[in-house]
Amino acid sequence: MRGLTIVVAGPDPDRLRAALTMACAAAALGGRARVYLHEAAVGLLRQNATAPAGLPDLTELRAIAADSGVELIACQTGLALAGLSADGQKVAAGGLIDLLATLQSDRLVTL
């Protein structure tokens, strides 16, 4: 199965929820799954938006994704702008150049 790389382009928690859910589904089907938080989307790492009844919140969903093998990548510039570090966040720091250079045959989706 081809991999799936999803770019979350803005600070909308619903888009991050959708990205993590799609990535978990791709990982469950045996594909590589990556979610890249671009610039302002990195700020979602410090937020824990409430979830609709019965659904996991973003922190829980990130943990589920990590346990499923989804790679979460935070834009290095976004980390600096948000005053955050990748340490302790279960996230790798990275940039768009590396993301695109390692895309291989992944499908690329932007939310």
pTM of the predicted structure, to 2 decimals? 0.94
Q: Domain map of the chain by residue range? A: 2-108
pLDDT tens per residue, range 6-15: 999 999 999 9
Position 101 pLDDT exceeds 90: yes
List the Cα angle 75/23/84 in 5-degree steps.
Answer: 25
pLDDT of res. 16? 96
Is domain 2-108 given the CATH code 3.40.630.30 in the classification? Answer: no
Position 93 pLDDT exceeds 80: yes
Structure tokens at 43: 């700020």
Helix or strand (DSSP H, E) at 32: none
Confidence of residue 47 (pLDDT cuts 50, 70, 90): confident
- Whether residue 15 contacts residue 111, with contact meaning beta carbons closer than 8 Å, is answered with yes
